[in-house]
Structure formats: C-alpha cells, structure tokens
Amino acid sequence: MRGPRDPEALAALALAAIAGLRVLFFALAFPFFSNVDEHRHVDMALKYERGYVPGRGDDAYEAQTLRLVGILGSPEYHRDPLRTDPVPPPVWHAGAELADRRLASARASLGSHHNLEANQSPAYYALAGAWLRLGRALGLDGGRLLYWLRALAAPATAALVLATHRGLRGVYARSRFVRLGAPALVAFLPQDCVYYATGDSLSPLLGGLAFLGIVDLALRASPGWVRGAATGLVSAAAILTKLPNALLAGVALFCTLAAVRATPRPRRGAWLSFWAGLALPVGAWLLRNQLLLGDPTGDALKIETLGWGLRPLAEWPLHPLLGFRGLTAFLAELARTFWRGELAWLRVPLAHASADALYVGVSAVGLTLAAVGLRGARPRTERLAEGAAWAALAAALAILVGLSLRFSYGPSTNPSLERPWFANGRLVAGALVPFALLFVRGLEQAGALLPVRWRERAAWTALGGVCAAASLSEAILSAPVVASAYNAFHLP
C-alpha cells in the first residue's frame, strides 16, 4: 500500500503544481482579448452568469462585454508589426477621454452583431458562469474578474496531471516511466488554449477524465452500473463542452467491444448505463437544437455568417486533403497546433520554425514507435489502454477530416480556399491524454535495444529534452507578451 510519502505520488503532485502554476502565469501574462475569438467566449460566460437560455433570442453582445472590450482590449494582437509608433497606453493609465473613445469603438464594431457562439455547446459556458458568480462573491470585478475566468484552467490542468498519473498507475504496473512520463508531458506541453477564455480550455481535463474512466471501466472484472453511468456523464460533459470530443465515442466503442468480448454478462449493465449516461444528455441537446433551430449542432447561423457553403458529396473525393501533399500538410499543421496552439502577437503566430519542426518530427517518430510497440507479448491492461488511445486519435482525425470535407470556404476565412481543412489542435484537445500515453510509449520503445539499466534513463532524457525545448521556445516567444502593459501584471 502506498503511503503519503510515496516518492512517485509526490513526483506527480509536484508535476501538477508546476502545471497549474505555468498555466496560471500565462493566463495572467496574455492581455485580453486574444486573437482566437476570446471576446465571444467571454461574452457567453457573462450571459450564462446572468442566467442566459440558448435560443431565446437575446444573443446580442452584453453591454458589459462591450465595456470590457473597450477598456481592457489590447491592440497588440492585431497591430501591424511594421508600425514604428509606440503602442498607446492602457485606458486605465490614459484617462476618461481615451476610455470613451475605446468604448465607442467597441460599440460600433460589436454592438449591432450577434454572438456566433450563442448556440454552441453549453457545458463550459455554464461552468464559467458559475465561476464568475463565485468571483463576484469574492469581490472581483472588471479586469480582475476576467483573469479569474481564465484562471479556471489552472486547477483544471493540475487535476488532469494528477488524474493521468492515477489512471495509468494500475495499467502500467511495470513501467514507472509511462506512469510519470505521460503526466509530465501533459504538464509541460505548451498548448495555449488553456491560457485564454474558451471552451477548448476544459477539453483536456474532461476528455482525459473520460478516456481514463472508459479504460478503467473496460479493465474492471465487475464494474457497477453507477460507475458506468458516472463515466458516461463525464463523457457527455466533454462532448457538450466541445462537439469534436465525440472522439470519445470511438474510445467507448473500442472498449465496450473489448470488455464484453472478455466476460459478457458481468459487464453488460455497466456498459448499458455508460451509453445511457453519454447518449441521453448529448441526444437531448441535439434534439433541442433541431426543434428550436432546425439544426442539431446549432452551427447553421455561424456557418451562414462566415460565408461557408456545403460541399456536394460528389466533390469530396476531389478535396486536396485526400491527396498526398494535402494530407501531409494537414497532418504537419495539426501536429504543430496540437503542441503549441494558435495564439498570435502583432498578427504573427507565436511559433518558431525550429520548434515546429521538432513537434512534427517527434510526433511522427513517437507515434510510429508506439505502433511498433504494440507487437509482442504485453500485459492485457497495456494493450487495451493503447488500443483505446489509438481509437481516440483515429476518431479525432476522422472528425477533423469529415469537417474539412463537408464545407467550402471563402478566401479570407479560416479554413480558407488555400488551406481548406481544420488543422486546429485545440479542437481535439480532448485527445491530449491518449496522445501523451502513446508518445511516451514510443519513447520507451525507442530504448528497447539498449541495455536494461539504461532504458529508463534514456527515455527520461529524451522526454526531458523535448519538454525543455518546448518550454524554452514558449518562453522566448512569449517574452514580448509578458512585457505588455495591458496584461494582469499591470492592472491598477
């Protein structure tokens, strides 16, 4: 029995603390409002705080949102990098006249528009609204309240690190490297969707909890229906946070078949309750959208506003994504954005060519070696967990490819005519734990030819090198952001 001073548990706790503090630091360092539509997500959180009901027609931007955009919004995200004049000072240093001009500008640009996220999946916004109410009860307001909203991702990331270690502890009883290596990668991977207000920020936690719960359900000899229902509800919460988390259905299907094939009768009730817990909330939301909006996903208005069209089914085989060059470009871009995210500064993505090449290369090598590692005699627990992880990644790719093929795009949208695919890693951030598991298994497999006493050390060296390079790149790229006069460190 592990005691409170178990070194491995303490190491996992330290990783969780580092992860939470890292996310909190960058959440405070980036000014509002990020280039990834953060004003829309903040507005939705404020709507749910006041008791917003989707589909009721009150989806214009909140007056409070317009005020916050005018006062707190940094021009640095969209400022022309060729301009040489100094960035204007924040409103709180410049006086009432500038505040009035900024507020008028926010009202002119957003006041007549409706929020395109108004009918999107509600779970994150409902939780964010409750979190805002708690912040107000603590006396927070204005900019501090918005940074409090962002800070929600910090404990979520710390919890994910701890959950990943706990979930893998019983599965990889013989491999300390996998048990701690996967949480370490989760702790240091610089995916920036957890730094700003967005539903994507909770996908890693909810997707990871659901993945680990489904695997645990499949490995138990006689799981109860309560455990099955609870796991299904967590999976539903992940999907109702971000619809691409439907990749969990692929994980669940794989694990259901594997578990029922092993011992059908004792497991049947648990899996029935799991599928009920997943399907009923998600089905109710989709049915509500269909009856109220005529569209099960609630995306119709957003798609129309963006100017996208539906691509005829006969044209799908001609899509550039299905060619070798298009597919390799899509996969490379997806690897880059899955590791580092999509934030930009002065209209330039926070990316470095060398770091991006590293992300693409190590992803390809790590996953390839993980696939090789499936061969040979291995414990059933490990084989099932890795099979479920592959199912998650395959389902994630299928969802992104399906979305890419479905629509035709405009020249200035994202996706665009030039890049007609969804290579946005944040959309499938719910697959972070499956990816981390397979990646560290690939590193472990790479050391299989070394003497036994060197294998774990070599794997840790490789993982430490990747995490250090990613962290160094993130620190260098974010230095101008940290120095911004508009971030939380400079609030009055």
38-49 vs 63-72: helix axis angle to the nearest 10?
A: 140
Sketch the domain layout of the chain as residue ranges. 33-144, 199-300, 311-492
Q: What is the pLDDT of residues 232-281, one digit of tens each?
A: 999 999 999 999 999 999 999 999 999 887 775 656 889 999 999 999 99
CA–centroid distance for 368 within its chain: 23
The pLDDT of residue 2 is 54
Q: What is the pLDDT of residues 47-101, one digit of tens each?
A: 999 998 877 777 899 999 999 999 999 999 999 888 888 888 898 877 777 778 8
The pLDDT of residue 264 is 59
Tokens at 232, concatenated: 């299904």
Give 213: exposed, middle or buried? Use CB within 10 Å, 0-12, 13-18, 19+: buried
Longest Cα–Cα distance of the chain, Å, equals: 73
Say if CB 204 and CB 157 are below 8 A apart. yes
Task: Give the whole-angstrom CA distance, residue 145 versus residue 127.
Answer: 15
With a cut of 50, list the residues of the chain below it in pLDDT.
Answer: 1
Task: Give the whole-angstrom CA distance, residue 281 versus residue 206.
Answer: 15
Q: Which of 489, 438, 487, 475 is nearest to 164 (CA)?
A: 438
Say if CB 245 and CB 236 are below 8 A apart. no
Task: Give the whole-angstrom CA distance, residue 142 versus residue 139.
Answer: 10
> Before 33, cis peptide (omega within 30)?
yes
